[in-house]
């Protein structure tokens, strides 16, 4: 009789998760055969999205990998694979059975919150769908993650609309407050950038490849048009833009166009190496390391690549340009 009672209580305790069973996640992943032997890592962050909470890794074997552990819903978790150019993807360590297929396009599903987040990645180009997902999940980690990943590209009116429909606790949380602050600053920079059209350029001091200090005013007035191209050696979109910019430069350099590449690289050797590697035949200048933020704020640069065009007098003719926009402008003058 005592033995039967003991078994009953053990079963009861287990059913209530007092042995931790109900608080566990089980992540089962599949991968293509050529990924065998690669390392899969899951990195969990604290709610501020910066400090690491935990790291775990495993090896892909026979096209499969597995993780398990206690549910973690306080912050973001990222799944990455060694030697893969797609970087990482978000995953939510929610209790239950999680499935992840990383064979080509990464998919994560199996638990309610991961299904929501997969819904987001499937509908990322539908603004209204993403807004709805945030609002519908404003009380869980999926809603916060979607807000953090998506709203930087929202038009200001849509961003303000979403913010009006979530709680103050949501907006003030360590994960979301910095995102809101950064978005407001970004939108303010864009507004100021648009308003700078028609105004005179502001002089700044920059470094040449042989470490001499020069100023923009050393070039203004000597060319009909000066295109300022803000870039960096670590910026893939910047590098991808270079061949087109080179074509535009060669096309119009004899018609009064000067291109000045302004790098925000903090490591001078990387800047020098990139100039040599990509053979960009225009003037290159580097922002002094302690002046990067100041110069970017002066020209309202919040993301790169970013370009603006000056006339001979130093008046700003256009902003937020790329090689295509420059080509079109020069073609029409």
* 245, 284 Cβ separation under 8 angstroms: no
Backbone phi, psi, residue 175, to 5°:
-75, -35
**pLDDT tens across 319-329, in order?**
989 999 999 99
Residue that finishes a domain, picked among 119, 137, 172: 119
Helix axes 112-122, 141-150, angle to 10 degrees: 20
Distance from chain centroid for Cα 30: 26
The whole-angstrom separation of Cα 112 and Cα 109 is 8
Q: What is the pTM of this model?
A: 0.67
Rounded Cα distance, 194 and 282, in Å: 26
How would residue 87 be classed by pLDDT, with cut points 50, 70 and 90?
low
Asked, for residue 3, whether it belongs to a domain, the answer is: no
Classify residue 2: in a domain, yes or no.
Answer: no
**pLDDT score, position 15:** 44
Residue 231 has pLDDT above 60, yes or no: yes
307 SS3 class? strand
What per-residue confidence (pLDDT) applies to 153?
85
Structural domains counted in the chain:
3
Boundary (domain end) residue, out of 84, 119, 154: 119
Structure tokens at 41: 């890592």
Residue 9 lies in a domain: no
Q: Which domain holds residue 44?
A: 16-119
Name residue, tokens 């910066």: 50
**Last residue of some domain: 95, 119, 143?**
119
My answer on whether 107 and 137 are in the same domain is no
Confidence bin at 85 (pLDDT 50/70/90)? low
232 and 288: one domain? yes
- Could you give the 3-state DSSP secondary structure of residue 58? strand
Alpha-carbon span 229 to 203, nearest angstrom: 15
**Residue that is written with structure tokens 């640069």 in the block:** 301
């Amino acid at each position: 009789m005592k033995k039967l009672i003991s078994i009953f209580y053990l079963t009861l305790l287990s059913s209530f998760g007092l042995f931790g069973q109900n608080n566990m996640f089980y992540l089962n992943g599949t991968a293509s055969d050529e990924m065998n032997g690669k390392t899969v890592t899951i990195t969990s962050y604290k709610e501020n999205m910066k400090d690491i909470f935990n790291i775990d890794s495993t090896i892909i074997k026979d096209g499969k990998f597995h993780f398990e552990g206690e549910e973690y819903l306080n912050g973001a978790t990222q799944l990455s694979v060694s030697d893969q150019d797609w970087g990482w993807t978000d995953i939510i360590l929610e209790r239950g059975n999680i499935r992840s297929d990383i064979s080509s396009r990464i998919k994560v599903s199996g638990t309610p919150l991961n299904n929501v987040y997969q819904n987001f990645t499937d509908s990322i180009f539908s603004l209204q769908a993403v807004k709805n997902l945030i609002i519908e999940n404003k009380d869980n980690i999926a809603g916060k993650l979607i807000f953090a990943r998506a709203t930087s590209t929202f038009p200001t009116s849509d961003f303000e609309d979403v913010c009006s429909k979530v709680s103050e606790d949501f907006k003030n949380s360590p994960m979301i407050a910095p995102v809101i602050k950064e978005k407001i600053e970004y939108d303010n920079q864009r507004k100021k950038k648009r308003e700078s059209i028609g105004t005179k350029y502001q002089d700044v001091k920059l470094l040449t490849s042989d470490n001499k200090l020069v100023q923009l005013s050393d070039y203004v007035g000597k060319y009909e048009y000066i295109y300022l191209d803000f870039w960096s050696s670590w910026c893939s979109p910047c590098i991808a833009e270079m061949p087109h910019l080179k074509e535009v430069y060669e096309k119009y350099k004899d018609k009064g166009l000067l291109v000045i590449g302004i790098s925000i690289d903090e490591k001078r050797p990387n800047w020098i190496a990139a100039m040599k590697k990509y053979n960009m035949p225009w003037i290159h200048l580097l922002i002094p390391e302690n002046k990067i933020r100041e110069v970017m704020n002066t020209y309202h640069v919040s993301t790169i690549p970013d370009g603006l065009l000056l006339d001979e007098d130093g008046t700003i003719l256009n902003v937020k340009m790329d090689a295509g926009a420059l080509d079109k402008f020069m073609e029409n003058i």
